[in-house]
Amino acid sequence: MTLAASLGCSGNSKPKSKSKDATSSTKKDEEDQTQVINSQGGTAYGWTQDEPKKHSWSVTWETVQFTFKPGGETISDMKGTHGSFFQDGVEASRFQSAAAHANQKKGDIDVDKNVVVISLTQKVTLRCDHIHYASKDTPPLVKATGNVEVDGPWGAVTGLKEVWATPDLKTFGTPDLFPSK
């Protein structure tokens, strides 16, 4: 998110307020230091936690609202999005959605509204209302919820509330079929 970091330098923060209560003063100071910047199209990447770092996901947006919080946390609320999920550093599937939400500190991306994911190797398409994808999960999984449908050469599976899948959509199933951490 180099774009976000460089934009953060140009934003204005509100002056710190003084308060008699130390707790409310600290909370107010943090709110005052939060910066919000609206921007046009761009691209961001999520990275794996292991070394050497590899791409975990990418997202391109039409418009975005960056929220820079004290302590270096950056949250991005994006509209008109498309991107990719990676497996072992290699692009495994591509998605399109109306919106996405990424948290730089957590390494997570949430993809929302009319989500379509297409595997690049398996001839499988997943459709749903929402996907949560965490860079820190080992292995990383596409966690789809809401009106989940999976189509492949073998037919279609529809009417599911929740499905977890590998980024290439080769393996998918209900959460209880995946080993817990």
Higher-pLDDT residue of 93, 107:
93
pLDDT confidence of residue 10: 29
* Cis-peptide, bond into residue 175, ω within 30° of zero: no
Higher-pLDDT residue of 37, 119:
119
Q: Is the pLDDT at 16 greater than 50, yes or no?
A: no
Residue 94: how many other CB atoms lie within 10 Å:
15
Structure tokens given for 67: 């929220």
Question: Which residue in the block uniquely carries the two structure tokens 């934009």?
Answer: 7
Average pLDDT over residues 155-179: 91
Nearest one of 69, 83, 78, 79 to 29, comparing CA atoms: 69
Question: Looking at residue 170, what DSSP letter applies?
Answer: S
Higher-pLDDT residue of 26, 103:
103
For 2-9+34-176, CATH gives 2.60.450.10
pLDDT confidence of residue 2: 33
Q: Is 38:63 a contact under the CB 8 Å cutoff?
A: yes
Q: Is 63:79 a contact under the CB 8 Å cutoff?
A: yes
7 pLDDT band (50/70/90 cuts)? Answer: very low
Supply the mean pLDDT for the chain: 82
Q: Is the pLDDT at 90 greater than 50, yes or no?
A: yes
Nearest one of 136, 88, 87, 85 to 111, comparing CA atoms: 85
Poorest-pLDDT segment among 30-34, 43-47, 86-90, 173-177? 30-34
104 pLDDT band (50/70/90 cuts)? Answer: confident
54 pLDDT band (50/70/90 cuts)? Answer: confident
Q: What CA–CA distance (Å, rounded) separates 133 from 116?
A: 14
In the chain, where the domains are located: 2-9+34-176
Q: Is the pLDDT at 55 greater than 90, yes or no?
A: no
135 pLDDT band (50/70/90 cuts)? Answer: confident
